[in-house]
Each structure stands twice: as C-alpha cells, then as structure tokens.
Homo-oligomer: A and B are copies of this chain.
Amino acid sequence: MDFPTTFLALALILVLATAGGEAAVRLGQPAVLGELLVGIALGNAHLFGIHALEGIAQDESIGLLAQMGVVLLMFSVGLDATVGQMLRIGPSAALVAITGIAASFALGWLVAALILPAAGRPVHAMLGALLCSTSVGVTTRVMQELGRSATPEARIILAAAVLDDVVGLAIISVVSKIAQAAGLSSFGTLIGHFGKAAALLVGALILGGVLAGPVFRLAARLQTQGVLLAAGLALCFVSAWFSSVIGLASIVGAFAAGLILEPAHSRKFVERGEPSLNVLLKPIAGFLVPIFFVVTGMRTDLRSLLAPGALALTAALIAAAILGKLACAIAVRGRVDRVAVGIGMIPRGEIQLLFAGALADRRIFSAVVAMVLVTAVVAPAALKARLRPRLAAPARAT
C-alpha cells in the first residue's frame, strides 16, 4: 500500500480497535479481547464479499508497527520489574515453565498419536513441541489493563514465558529437524541450542546492566530534547534485534532491556522536570499495542478452520493446549493465585502458526489455527473472571 492508504488503514484500525475494546469492557471483558475479535472480523471480511481490506494484514509497514507494539508492551512491562525481582522468582518460574512444557509436550504428543496414528512419530513429536511456547503478549496486556502488572502472578508468568520461549524454541527447532527426516541428530543439539541462547541472553543482561548506568548518565548531560526517550527506545530496539539474531523472539530481548533499566537511570531527567521513560512510552504503546492485537486477529484465517475431518483433532488439541498449561498451577510455590498463573500461561500465538504453516498438513494447520484462536480468546476472559473478585476498583482500569 502507498503511504496515504496506509494512513487510512491505520485510522480504521484505531477506530475499530477502540470500538471493539469498548464493547468488550462494557461486557466485563478485557479490551484486548475486543481488539482480537475486531481483527478476526476485519481479516475475514472477504468471506462476506468485502475485499477492500485484504491488503492490510499482509502490509509490511503495518506489520512492523504491530511488531513494534508488542515489543514496546514487553519493554514497558520489563521497566516495571527489576533483574533482582526476576532472579528471586527465578526458581519458582523455572518450575512453572518446565511443568507447563512437559505437560503440553506430553499431551500434544498423546493427542496426535491417538487421532493421527498414521502420521508417524516425528509429526506426533512436532505437535507436542508446538504446544510448548506461551504467547505472553495477551496475558501481559490483560494484567496491565487490570493494573496488576507488578503482582507476583504477573511476574511469575513473565519469567516463565521467557524460559518457555528459550526452551520451547529449542525443542521445536530440534523436533522440526527430526520431522524433516534428518534423523536423530538430537539431544545434544537441543542442549546446545538451549545453552547458546541462554548464555547469550545472560551475557547481554550482565553487559547491559553494567553499561546502562554510565550510558544514561552521559545521556543526561546532553542538551537536546527527547534524549531519554531516544536512549530508551534505542536500547529496546537493539535488544529486540539481538534476541532475534540469537534465535529467540524479539519480545524476549525487549523485556530484558526493560529489566536492565531501573528508575535510577532516568532519575537525572526526572529531577529536572522531564517525564520518566514509563510516562513517555505510554502514549506510544497506547497507539501501537492495539495495532498488534488487531493485526494478530486479522491473520487468523477462519476458512482454515473448515478443513474436513479436522474437528476431533481440533477439539483434542485445544484441550491439550489448555490443560498442558493449567498444569503449571501445580508447580506454583508461595502465596500466589496458582490458577491465575496457569490461565496466564495458556495463550499460544505466532510461533505456533509459523511452524504449523511449515508442516504442510491442512488438517493440522487448521487445528493449530483454531487452538491459537481459542486460547487467545479464552485466556483473557478467564483471567479477568479469576482476578476480578480480588480487585478493589471496578471495571475501569488504570
């Protein structure tokens, strides 16, 4: 699309995201649910003869804005937490992540083996591997809407989701290599991939943690406007790039960048009357984050749900996906809402769609799309219902 058309498309997305979010809030649901549903409606308008919108979901520039939205969402959530807090809940989060991965992998494999016995073990393993990674964007947004980003539940989910991403991608990459008939090159590769990504991530965290102080002190001495925002965004974008170069999701890097930055880094700016980084990011995220959820919805092709003979597989895969992550609740330690953690781990997303697309089996793809759709839509509603009774304020979030 040319620039003017893209502007028109963005205006449409903004207006409909607001309308969808409003409808969801009025029905007692999180706004993100309305945005996802608006996206699904827009992305499938061609089923009802409306073809004008077909270019939007595929447009690269809008895709970048959407990706920037989720990256900034994770960055701003990371800003609210510290490396210390994450390390303290690390063991607990690791237990949650491992439990969810093990249960999801086992259930996915079981479902595939029972319903598609002829597909062969590599495909069974692949379906198990596909269920491992959580898509943490939806849960993060719901927690933010409810003003609960800083709760132990939210932090455990975030830390576990980061581990999920590292481990889950490692599992998928190994299993998919096996599925491509490369044979059992195997457990060594899995450990290697996992070790490399984890080591690089930890190295970047340490390096970033050491450098952030001096860099932001230097930045505070500049006289141009907007230095704090430019420095914060640059760090976030570089981290997003780095984590995707080492094979992780870009949101993991963005979250880590937020973790590194402490309020102390913007103190000098705040002392002289400038807004803090969190305040500056809010309108940017407010503009871009809904674009991410609408575009995510738009990429769900409802026609692919209609693959013949997929119904049993779809239903079983959805059940496996939900139960596999609800199992996380067992692993939660301390005075924390265990079920809320389990629900928060349920949503699946981009990674699943990406690898399912590569499987080239229309039934499996259809089932995975439905699983992503249902988990992304069910989790926000369930999470809000679970957490609402404990909220002091009414529906309006802050």
| Residues of A participating in the B interface, judged by any CB pair closer than 8 Å | 3-8, 10-11, 14-15, 17-18, 21-22, 25-26, 31, 60-61, 63-65, 67-68, 71, 145, 219, 222-227, 229-231, 233-235, 237-238, 240-241, 244-245, 250, 275, 280-284, 286-287, 290, 395-397
Q: Which residues of B contact A64 (CB under 8 A)?
A: 3, 6, 61, 64-65
- B240→A4 contact, CB < 8 A: yes
Name 17 extra pairs, CB < 8 A, besides A10-B237, A14-B230, A25-B223: A4-B240, A6-B64, A7-B68, A7-B250, A11-B235, A11-B238, A14-B237, A15-B230, A15-B231, A15-B234, A18-B226, A18-B230, A22-B224, A223-B396, A225-B397, A280-B286, A284-B287
Q: Which residues of B contact A145 (CB under 8 A)?
A: 225
Partner of A234, one of B4, B14, B283: B14
Residue of B nearest to A227 (CB): B18
Cα separation A8 to B68 with both chains bound (whole Å): 12
Partner of A14, one of B18, B233, B290, B395: B233
Cα separation A244 to B18 with both chains bound (whole Å): 25
Enumerate 13 A-B pairs (CB-CB under 8 Å) in ascending A order. A3-B64, A3-B67, A7-B71, A7-B240, A10-B237, A14-B230, A18-B222, A25-B223, A60-B60, A61-B61, A64-B64, A229-B287, A282-B283
Q: Closest CB-CB distance, A76 to chain B, in whole Å?
A: 12
Interface centre among A21, A145, A287 (most CB of B within 10 A): A287
Q: Which residues of B contact A3 (CB under 8 A)?
A: 63-64, 67, 244, 250
Q: Which residues of B contact A286 (CB under 8 A)?
A: 225-226, 229-230, 280
- A237→B8 contact, CB < 8 A: yes
The 5 closest A-B pairs by CB, nearest first: A11-B237, A226-B286, A4-B244, A7-B237, A8-B241
Q: Which residues of B contact A71 (CB under 8 A)?
A: 7
Q: Closest CB-CB distance, A77 to chain B, in whole Å?
A: 16
Cα separation A67 to B129 with both chains bound (whole Å): 42
Q: Closest CB-CB distance, A331 to chain B, in whole Å?
A: 32
- B229→A283 contact, CB < 8 A: yes
Partner of A225, one of B15, B31, B233: B31
Known: A60-B61, A230-B17. A395 touches B10 (CB 8 A): no
- A287→B18 contact, CB < 8 A: no
Q: Closest CB-CB distance, A172 to chain B, in whole Å?
A: 18
Residue of B nearest to A67 (CB): B3
Q: Closest CB-CB distance, A219 to chain B, in whole Å?
A: 8
Cα separation A396 to B273 with both chains bound (whole Å): 14
Residue of B nearest to A229 (CB): B286
Residue of B nearest to A235 (CB): B11
Cα separation A67 to B10 with both chains bound (whole Å): 13
Cα separation A18 to B226 with both chains bound (whole Å): 8
Cα separation A284 to B65 with both chains bound (whole Å): 13
Cα separation A7 to B74 with both chains bound (whole Å): 15
Q: Closest CB-CB distance, A108 to chain B, in whole Å?
A: 28
Q: Which residues of B contact A244 (CB under 8 A)?
A: 3-4
Interface centre among A11, A65, A68, A233 (most CB of B within 10 A): A11
Partner of A241, one of B7, B31, B61, B231: B7
Cα separation A128 to B397 with both chains bound (whole Å): 58
- A241→B4 contact, CB < 8 A: yes
- A223→B22 contact, CB < 8 A: yes
Q: Closest CB-CB distance, A255 to chain B, in whole Å?
A: 14
Residue of B nearest to A288 (CB): B284
Q: Which residues of B contact A5 (CB under 8 A)?
A: 241
Q: Which residues of B contact A245 (CB under 8 A)?
A: 4
- A395→B284 contact, CB < 8 A: no
Q: Which residues of B contact A219 (CB under 8 A)?
A: 18
